[in-house]
Amino acid sequence: MKSKKEEALDGVLLKMLDGLPLQAAELLIKDKEIHNLQDYANVVSIKRLSFNDHGPVHMKTVAINAVKMASLLNEAGIKLNLEAEGIGTFEDSKTAIVIAAFIHDIGMTIGRENHEKNAIIIAYPILNRLLEKLYPDNFQKLVIVRSLITECIVGHMATQRIHSLEAGIILVADGCDMEKGRARIPMMINTESRVGDIHKYSASEINKVRIEKGDKKPIKIKIEMNESVGFFQVEEVLLGKINFSPVKPYVELYAGVTGREAKRYL
């Protein structure tokens, strides 16, 4: 059973898309296996491991973030790798981005360690059956998009060097999901202090993350927080991911406490 939040995110994502990426999103949203994997990933993450949200709300939020960034780059005339290399279109890249974002954390159904790599083991048969529907008459394109999705998923933790803008978008889009709602449930369940709590407390102070057209670069990321502890989340999580991402040259990053002047990082 989907929550109202999940359904709302589904609606937002569908309105952002058309063509092949829209078909992909519709398949993803209706897929029972994916839905159950997303739900179980959250059980493992929150209840078993006391981490923050890695379930359907997070993965769908990352998909929305990623589509925004891809669209902003496209509007600025920046070609993503498939188009720039003459082996695909922007539509193909956006299709890969949507699928990768939607399932990037299903490896959390196994555990935190190497979850980005474990996700590929689970995802491979899912990708085959989805892409066979999206590319029924183009096996070469299916293979290319499948490999790109794999890079996007494996690269989302910045533990392995990535080389495409598509994968770089997923990396940054994942880091941008840091608003306080993501840490709310684990903080309610786990009231005793433990190592790593700074991540939850810093995330709980992030009010809003905005992704919009930049002033001098295609993408501007603006983070508003209640207290300065939120800077830990920006500097230790998001900034590290941006620095590791091929998208970095196209990103402006601002963060600040509400009512004060924002600090510019990039």
Residues 109 and 122: their CA atoms lie apart, in Å, by: 9
Q: Judge if 111 and 19 occupy the same domain.
A: yes
Q: Judge if 233 and 137 occupy the same domain.
A: no
Q: Of the ranges 36-50, 67-81, 159-173, which one carries the lowest mean pLDDT score?
A: 36-50
How much is the pLDDT for 185?
A: 46
Range of the domain at 210: 181-264
Q: What percent of the chain has pLDDT over 90?
A: 83
Query: Among 203, 209, 210, 211, which Cα is nearest to 227's?
Result: 203
3 state DSSP class of 63: helix
Find the mean pLDDT for residues 10-25: 98
- pLDDT tens, residue by residue, 103-143: 999 999 999 999 999 999 999 999 999 999 999 999 999 99
How many helices and strands in the chain, by DSSP H and E? 13, 4
Q: Judge if 21 and 74 occupy the same domain.
A: yes
3 state DSSP class of 6: helix
Q: Judge if 163 and 260 occupy the same domain.
A: no
Find the mean pLDDT for residues 232-259: 96
Q: Judge if 112 and 53 occupy the same domain.
A: yes
Q: Judge if 151 and 89 occupy the same domain.
A: yes
Which of 145, 173, 201 is the C-terminal boundary of a domain? 173
How much is the pLDDT for 196?
A: 52
The tally of domains found in the chain comes to 2
Which of 135, 156, 173 is the C-terminal boundary of a domain? 173
- Map tokens 């937002």 to a residue: 12
Q: Which tokens sit at 250?
A: 């196209």
Residues 222 and 27: their CA atoms lie apart, in Å, by: 32
Q: Judge if 100 and 143 occupy the same domain.
A: yes
225 within 8 A of 207, measured Cβ to Cβ: yes
- Map tokens 């600025």 to a residue: 76
Find the mean pLDDT for residues 19-24: 98
Q: What percent of the chain has pLDDT over 70?
A: 92
**Does residue 25 register a pLDDT over 90?**
yes
Which of 125, 149, 173 is the C-terminal boundary of a domain? 173
How much is the pLDDT for 28?
A: 98
Q: Which tokens sit at 70?
A: 């891809």
Q: Judge if 186 and 165 occupy the same domain.
A: no
98 within 8 A of 59, measured Cβ to Cβ: no
- pLDDT tens, residue by residue, 177-209: 998 755 544 444 454 555 555 566 677 789 999
